[in-house]
């Protein structure tokens, strides 16, 4: 019986890279996990059986070394203003190594005229990787992750508030997928390229949910009442800026504000939910409440106490006192490439036509 091919996972310590690595190992594939440092995540993956490669994903020399002896790869660019550089490095190295199949993590919003530089770069990266005639590609394009809501779980746990700029609380605008379910779709495509080559998948959660329903699910998982409160884009930048510096750069905040606008416009509700997690990943998608319960179970600091409530109140006060970010200034000062007349996803006819998944019986798109 032929041995299974070795698979490279980039960003192997990230939200989807970690579960992709672990799930591939469970299926018996040898995995080389590319991480930027030897930390607890590297230790976890080594214990699970991965070959850990520590290096700089933006350095072509390191990417070449990481691809030596592998046949397939998971391409997961960091959420950063140099994502296109990462993907160019990956693409060059993948072509040189003559990989047989690549699975890319993209974006549901991906389009040529989008206001977000990060999103336009995802579109270009996906086009570049598909230019190699010898290599097949599968794209996994999730929308708004369940994990995004959990950024504010501490405030929900201790103050009973779920605050985000998502618009009216009653409007159902997203079917949030778990990191693990996104990984299941990617792993299926890596394990069986013949079946999934040329396909584009959009993993979602099982239900289209409103912010009020998200808050209620948080409350059930936490054992307390949680209320959704819509906030302004300005307040969102203050909250993200008040978080630890390592969490969100100014560049990332500037793009998150654009994605929140897409959320309010309903882009993440288009064609949602899909059956891709079940049909491709092999199991029913996890509910948001179940995702939240798993997080609560491994974070004992979310249990209510007087001292934790006091710290949460202090954090809320710190947010109020934190200056808001000037998002236009950030993009201008960083010399971002900016379009004269950008268009949001649903304003772009090509995006609307290509993202109407209801026309395909298998809810999958084949890319020519």
H/E element, 186: helix 179-191
Reduced to 3 states (helix: H, G, I; strand: E, B; else coil), residue 140 is strand
The arithmetic mean of pLDDT across residues 268-291, rounded, is 97
Residue 1 has pLDDT above 70, yes or no: no
Q: Do 7-143+177-201 and 146-175+205-270+286-338 share a fold?
A: no
Residue 220 has pLDDT above 70, yes or no: yes
306-343: per-residue pLDDT in tens?
A: 988 888 888 878 777 777 777 677 666 666 777 888 89
Q: 146-175+205-270+286-338: which CATH topology?
A: UDP-galactose 4-epimerase; domain 1 (3.90.25)
Q: For the domain 7-143+177-201, what is the CATH code?
A: 3.40.50.720
From 147, 128, 119, select the one nearest 344 (Cα to Cα): 119
The arithmetic mean of pLDDT across residues 249-261, rounded, is 83
**What's the count of helices (H) and strands (E) in the chain, helices before strands?**
17, 10
User: Would you state the pLDDT for residue 361?
Assistant: 38
Q: How confident is the model at residue 366 (pLDDT cuts 50, 70, 90)?
A: very low
User: Would you state the pLDDT for residue 198?
Assistant: 94
Structure tokens at 323: 């200056």
User: Would you state the pLDDT for residue 324?
Assistant: 74
- b/e 123-154 (16+ beta carbons within 10 angstroms → b): bebbebbbeeeebbbbbbbbbbbbbbbbebbb
Kindly write down the DSSP assignment for every residue of 221-262, as one continuous string.
Answer: HHTS--EEEE--HHHHHHHHHHS-TTT--HHHHHHHHHHHHH
Structure tokens at 354: 């290509």
The arithmetic mean of pLDDT across residues 240-261, rounded, is 75
User: Would you state the pLDDT for residue 24?
Assistant: 98
Structure tokens at 316: 């809320």
Extents of the domains making up the chain: 7-143+177-201, 146-175+205-270+286-338
The answer to whether 29 and 3 have CB atoms below 8 angstroms apart is no
Residue 282 has pLDDT above 70, yes or no: yes
Taking CA atoms, 11 is separated from 78, 90, 367, in Å, by 7, 12, 25
Q: Within a 13 Å sphere around the CA of 237, how many CA atoms are in the beta-carbon half?
A: 18
Taking CA atoms, 291 is separated from 25, 180, 199, 264, 297, in Å, by 22, 9, 27, 23, 10
133-157: per-residue pLDDT in tens?
A: 899 999 999 999 999 999 899 999 9
Q: How confident is the model at residue 248 (pLDDT cuts 50, 70, 90)?
A: low
The arithmetic mean of pLDDT across residues 177-195, rounded, is 97
From 89, 108, 211, 198, select the one nearest 152 (Cα to Cα): 211
The arithmetic mean of pLDDT across residues 35-56, rounded, is 95
User: Would you state the pLDDT for residue 364?
Assistant: 52
The arithmetic mean of pLDDT across residues 117-142, rounded, is 93
The answer to whether 67 and 73 have CB atoms below 8 angstroms apart is yes
């Amino acid at each position: 019986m032929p041995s299974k091919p070795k698979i490279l996972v980039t960003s192997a310590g990230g939200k989807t890279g970690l579960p992709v690595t672990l799930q591939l190992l469970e299926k018996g594939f040898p995995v080389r996990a590319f991480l930027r440092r030897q930390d607890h995540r590297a230790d976890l993956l080594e214990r699970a059986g991965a070959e850990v490669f520590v290096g700089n994903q933006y350095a072509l020399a390191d990417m070449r070394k990481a691809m030596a002896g592998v046949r397939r790869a998971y391409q997961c660019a960091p959420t950063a203003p140099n994502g296109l550089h990462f993907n160019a490095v990956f693409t060059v190295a993948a072509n040189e190594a003559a990989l047989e199949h690549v699975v890319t993590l993209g974006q549901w919003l991906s389009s040529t005229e989008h206001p977000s530089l990060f999103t336009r770069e995802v579109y270009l990266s996906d086009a570049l990787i598909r230019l190699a005639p010898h290599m097949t590609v599968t794209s996994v394009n999730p929308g708004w992750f369940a994990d995004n809501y959990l950024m504010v779980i501490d405030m929900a746990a201790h103050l009973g508030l779920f605050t985000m700029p998502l618009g009216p609380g009653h409007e159902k605008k997203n079917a949030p997928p778990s990191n693990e379910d996104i990984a299941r779709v990617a792993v299926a495509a890596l394990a069986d390229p013949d079946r999934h080559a040329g396909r584009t998948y959009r993993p979602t959660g099982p239900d289209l949910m409103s912010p009020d329903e998200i808050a209620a699910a948080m409350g059930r998982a936490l054992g307390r009442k949680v209320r959704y409160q819509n906030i302004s884009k300005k307040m969102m930048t203050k909250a993200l800026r008040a978080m630890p510096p390592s969490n969100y750069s100014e560049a990332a905040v500037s793009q998150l504000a654009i994605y929140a606008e897409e959320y309010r416009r309903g882009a993440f509700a288009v064609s949602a939910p899909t059956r891709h997690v079940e049909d491709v990943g092999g199991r029913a998608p996890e509910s948001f409440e179940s995702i939240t319960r798993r997080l609560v179970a491994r974070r004992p600091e979310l249990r209510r106490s007087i001292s934790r409530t006091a710290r949460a109140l202090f954090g809320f006060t710190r947010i109020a006192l934190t200056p808001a970010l000037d998002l236009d200034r950030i993009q201008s000062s960083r010399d971002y490439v900016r379009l004269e007349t950008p268009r949001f996803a649903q304003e772009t006819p090509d995006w609307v036509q290509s993202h109407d998944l209801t026309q395909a019986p298998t809810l999958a798109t084949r890319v020519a």
